[in-house]
Amino acid sequence: MRSLLLSTLAYAVLCVVAVPPARAVDGDYTEAMRVRSLLHAEESSLDGMPRARLQDPLVAETVLLPVSRGFDQRFTGLCWAYATLSALETIHLVRHAGGPDVELSRRAMQYYTMEDRYRRSIKQVNTYIREGGIVLDALRLIQSNGIVSFDDYADVADAYGYANIAGMIDSAPTFTDKIIVLYEGLDIVYAAPPTRTHVPVLAAADPNAAYAPADAGDLARFVLGRDVWQSYTPSSAKSGFHAHPDPDARWENVSWHMPHSEFPGRIREALLAGFPVVISIRNHALLVYGADYDADGSPITYYIKDSHPSYYYVTDADYLHANFWEMTTVKL
C-alpha cells in the first residue's frame, strides 16, 4: 500500500466532445486560497510541528489524529467529499493503528454525486447540476452505493469538456430514454465504478494477507461502522435543529444550531474521542485533525488537511472560530 506521505497523483486526461463548463473550473481552487488567506495559514507537514511563535501561549496539550496522504481535488467541486473520505480514513487509522490503511476512491464519490444530481433532475426533484454538497450527503451516497478503494478506481475526472450529459438528457424523449442516456454519458465521462474492491484484513493468520476481495457495500459498512454524524451551525438567534445552512444541501438536511461559544469545546470533545471535524469556511470544506491547547484547555492552533496542495497547514484557533459557519463530525 502507498505511503501516507506520498502526495503525487497520476491521472489520465480524456478528450471527447467539448462543451462549456457549468461553472468556472478554477473557482474552487480560488475559494480554497481565499480560505487559507482568511486563516493566515502556515504550511505544515505530517512529520513536523509548526514553528514556535513568541506571541503564542504555552502549549499544555496537543491532540493530533493520524491522517491519510493528501489527495488533490483538482478542478472539481468535491471538497466536501474529499473532506468526508479523509475523515473516514482518519477514523480507521485511529481505530486500527498499525494495521492496513484505507484509501477511498474520490472518483467513485464523483460518479455517485453526478449520478444522484442528474437522476434528481430527471425526476424534477431539483434543477441544478453541480458537484457541490455536504458531508451528510456524502455519507448518504456511500450508504446507498458503497465505496471502493483508491487502488481499484482511478483519480477524479475533470468532467468539463468531456460530454454534454445535460444536453443528452434534454434531447431524450421519455423518462426511460433519459435514464439510458444518463448512464451512457456517465460512462463516457467517468466509466462506471467497479462493484468489487478490497477491504483490510485486520487479524489474518497470514501476515501477507493485508487485503481481501469484497464488494463496494462491504467496504462502505467497514468504514462507516455504527457512527452517527451530525451537522452543527453557530447561531446567536436560535438553537435546536433547523435547516442546513449550505445552499448545496438537500431540503431534508438539518443542522443543530447552537451558540458560537460552544464550538471550541465541541471540537475538542470530538478530537479527544478520535474523531476529526469537517469545517466549512466560505464555500470550502476542510478537515480539522488536531489542535494545540493551553493550560485552561482553550485552543491555540488547529491542524488542517485540505484537498489542494500543499495539503497540510496550521491556523490560529481565533481565525478559524471567526470564519467558519458550519461543522460536521460524529455525534458523541
| pTM for the full predicted model | 0.88
Residues in the chain: 332
Query: Domain ranges in the chain?
Result: 27-330
Q: Is 117 helix (H, G, I), strand (E, B) or coil?
A: helix
Residue of 130, 121, 132 lying closest to 168 (CA atoms): 121
For residue 169, give the amino acid letter: I
Architecture of the domain whose range is 27-330: Alpha-Beta Complex (3.90)
Instruction: Spell out the per-residue pLDDT of the chain, length 332, in tens.
Output: 434 333 333 323 222 223 333 333 456 889 999 999 999 989 876 655 555 554 567 899 999 999 999 999 988 999 999 999 999 999 999 999 888 889 999 999 999 999 999 999 999 877 667 888 999 999 999 999 999 999 999 788 876 556 789 899 999 999 999 999 999 999 998 889 999 999 988 765 555 668 889 999 999 999 999 999 999 999 988 889 999 999 888 888 999 999 999 999 999 999 999 999 999 998 899 999 999 999 999 999 999 999 999 999 999 999 999 999 999 999 99
- State the chain's maximal CA–CA distance in angstroms: 68
**278 within 8 A of 327, measured Cβ to Cβ:** yes
Question: Which grid cell sits at 270?
Answer: 470530538
